[in-house]
Chain A
Amino acid sequence: MAATDKEVRRIMDHCCQAMVWAGILSVVLVLLLTSLPAVSGVLPEDRADALYHSYDGGGVEVTGPSYLIRKGDNKRFSGSINYYADSITSASVDVITQGSPYNESRTQWSGSLDYMHADTTMTVSYGNSDESDYTADTYGFSISQSMFGDLTTVSLGYSYGNDDITSNVNPDLDQDAEHKNYHISLTQILTKNLLLSLNYDGVTDQGYLQNPYRNVLVLNDPLDPAAGANFNTPERYPRTRTSNAMSASFLYYLPYRASMKLFYRYYTDDWDIDAHTAQISYTHPWRDRWIFDASFRYYEQTEADFYADLFLFPDQQNFMARDKELSEFKDYTAGFGVTYNVFKQGWGHLDKATINLRYDHIWFNYDNFTDVKNGVIPPQADTYDFTADVIQLFASVWY
């Protein structure tokens, strides 16, 4: 499956589309910046959060903390620092069939600085993610403009990421990857009870995009499926990927004090993955101190054009993958959250403090990824599914 002229043209079309939209929005922003009277914008609130997170599903356990501190000068500047860590124990279906369970950790530092002038806010950001075989640096810039008496806020953003990929089992592997992300968003006050948010992200990747540890499943003898299959052929991914994602969210203040959010996202990329995401969320305060949240999320995607659950030959195609995240599947999430406001009137230098618990249960159902742990291969093997529990416990203070 060599990259044909048609595919190259398709990639170019995706890139051009993203650049054209970014260009149009730039023109819009520049014209508005020069034509509107200045209205003072608002910087994010000063606050600090300490979060403990836990994910447990499909043989994978990931736990760790995340700390986020934001402080500004109440005039023009606001800065934030985030430390995030994952401690991973993995005995996933891939690990069981192709390797042995492992433990590893990942740490991530990121920071941002906002500068506000009249109704314009500019943000620069930097992030670094580090694990034993993967290092990533990301640099970002965004500009946000509120207009029409603060009814509308438009944001443009660009980020550039550079990854360094090595392998814990192959000392010769040293690869890199680049990521460029173009972001446009618009937040609109529609009525005194209704907000709309539109978002677009165009992402281009170039470089080593595959997992160095994962192999594809190939028949031992293409003429005799009864002879079984093996995991001796490494995955081979294209070295480029371009994706477009668009979303719309409506947030509505109900006739009593509660809110409802509807979210929809469409995603498409040049690996032939199309995805739909829909979510409904309900938030209900109770008395002075409590806020309850409930949500349901649905996700579905088609599979990448070079994905297969089982290949006939080791060289069947130029690009070959058996990553379940690239297969056709659906997932559903039911979530519940509770927030307790600790102070009624603030305390000392603290304006407010909350304690928060969120629990989500996710069902993953794969349509074309089978469980071959027991040695039974497709098409006799059962399709794979699993559930995951996601817990977040965090405390927040405003000052």
Chain B
Amino acid sequence: MKYTKHLLLPLLLLLNGCSSLEPWVKPYERAHLADPIMSFSRDPVSSAYYGHVYQVREGARGAEGGHGGGCGCN
């Protein structure tokens, strides 16, 4: 908790400059990023299944990335 107030001020100062930030990768430079192979979760139905396979057999849960957590199926 004691670190929180020390974090907030620099964060707010940082945010103050956000609106003037220029995108350093222009929209016309994003052809590679738009390729389907650059998706963190190309097939949501498959990602959700992988999440379920591991969640019921491992102690860890959450932050899988690519799909939401919490299906309530412990």
A320 at the interface (CB under 8 A from B): no
User: B43 → chain A, closest Cβ, in Å?
Assistant: 7
A-B residue pair count with CB separations less than 8 angstroms: 204
Residues of B close to A16: CB separation below 8 A = 1
* Interchain CB contact under 8 A, B19 and A301: no
Cα distance A137–B59 in the bound complex, in angstroms: 21
* Interchain CB contact under 8 A, A161 and B49: no
Scan residues 35-60 of chain B and give those whose CB is less than 8 A from a CB of chain A. Answer: 35-38, 40, 43-46, 48-49, 53-54, 56-60
Interface class of chain B by DSSP: loop
User: A124 → chain B, closest Cβ, in Å?
Assistant: 12
Cα distance A292–B69 in the bound complex, in angstroms: 27
* Interchain CB contact under 8 A, B70 and A243: no
* Interchain CB contact under 8 A, A68 and B61: no
Pick the interface stretch among A113-121, A166-174, A218-226, A389-397.
Answer: A389-397
* Interchain CB contact under 8 A, B4 and A148: no
* Interchain CB contact under 8 A, A187 and B40: yes
Residues of A close to B1: CB separation below 8 A = 16, 20
* Interchain CB contact under 8 A, B65 and A197: yes
Scan residues 1-46 of chain A and give those whose CB is less than 8 A from a CB of chain B. Answer: 16, 20, 24, 27-28, 31-32, 35-37
* Interchain CB contact under 8 A, B48 and A325: no
Cα distance A245–B74 in the bound complex, in angstroms: 17
Residues of A close to B25: CB separation below 8 A = 151, 189, 191-192
Cα distance A75–B58 in the bound complex, in angstroms: 40
* Interchain CB contact under 8 A, A259 and B38: yes
Q: Which of B40, B53, B54, B63 touches A251 (beta carbons < 8 Å)?
A: B40
Residues of B close to A396: CB separation below 8 A = 43, 45
* Interchain CB contact under 8 A, B62 and A138: no
* Interchain CB contact under 8 A, B58 and A325: yes
Q: Which of B19, B46, B64, B73 touches A129 (beta carbons < 8 Å)?
A: B73
User: B25 → chain A, closest Cβ, in Å?
Assistant: 5
B30, closest chain A residue (CB):
A192
B59, closest chain A residue (CB):
A273
Known contacts A68-B45, A325-B58; A265 and B37 CB within 8 A of each other:
no
* Interchain CB contact under 8 A, A245 and B61: yes
A267 at the interface (CB under 8 A from B): yes
A136 at the interface (CB under 8 A from B): yes
Q: Can you list 9 contacts pairing A with B, beta carbon distance less than 8 Å?
A: A49-B44, A110-B71, A129-B73, A149-B22, A150-B23, A183-B70, A267-B62, A273-B60, A301-B58
Which residues from chain B sit less than 8 Å from chain A, CB to CB? Answer: 1, 4, 7-8, 11-12, 15, 18-19, 21-25, 27, 29-30, 32-33, 35-38, 40, 43-46, 48-49, 53-54, 56-66, 68-74
Q: Give 13 new A-B contacts, CB below 8 A, not counting A189-B33, A203-B62, A301-B59.
A: A35-B15, A66-B49, A82-B45, A129-B71, A136-B72, A150-B23, A150-B27, A151-B25, A192-B29, A199-B62, A246-B63, A265-B63, A265-B65
Q: Which 3 A-B pairs have the closest CB atoms?
A: A201-B62, A149-B23, A136-B72
